[in-house]
Amino acid sequence: MSDQSQPAPEPWAPPQSDQEFKFEDIASAPAWADKNWATAGGMAIPMGNLDGTGPYHTATAKKGDTVKFNAKQQKFTIIPAEPEEGAEPPKRAAQVSAASLEDQLRGGSIEAGDLDDDAKAQVASRSPGLAKMLEAKS
């Protein structure tokens, strides 16, 4: 063990004036932004009370989003980036339903052709026995 002790890092403090930046990556974030907010591909911005009392929650700023800080209200706002012309749309979230897709397929209330590629992949991975039915009726 080393006898040298590292000084404790300063706790994060909000900026004293209105601030704004366009998020590209954590390395290019301004000095007042806490680098510990880094997430996979984004930055988790505190959206609740900044004084440490509840409720506390975050919202993720993604590449191209504008992050604004209002000093008077002590509040962050994330303005989503406009999609680029001709850009691929973001990947869809996993298909969610209260009814089991497997049960609907077996019961005949839906056909394999009714499912998009994401849903077919989910069903095939959860129920290998239905994978052949999905392939045959696709």
pLDDT in tens, the chain (138 residues): 555 677 777 778 888 999 999 999 988 999 888 888 888 888 999 887 777 676 678 889 998 999 999 999 889 999 998 877 777 665 555 555 556 778 778 877 788 888 888 888 888 888 888 877 787 655
**Amino acid code (one letter) for 85:** E
Residue pair 137/113 in contact (Cβ under 8 Å)? The answer is yes
Please give the model's pTM, rounded to 2 decimal places. 0.55
CB atoms within 10 A of CB 69: 21
Put residue 127 in one of left, alpha, beta given phi > 0 → left and psi -120 to 50 → alpha.
beta
Residue pair 48/73 in contact (Cβ under 8 Å)? The answer is no
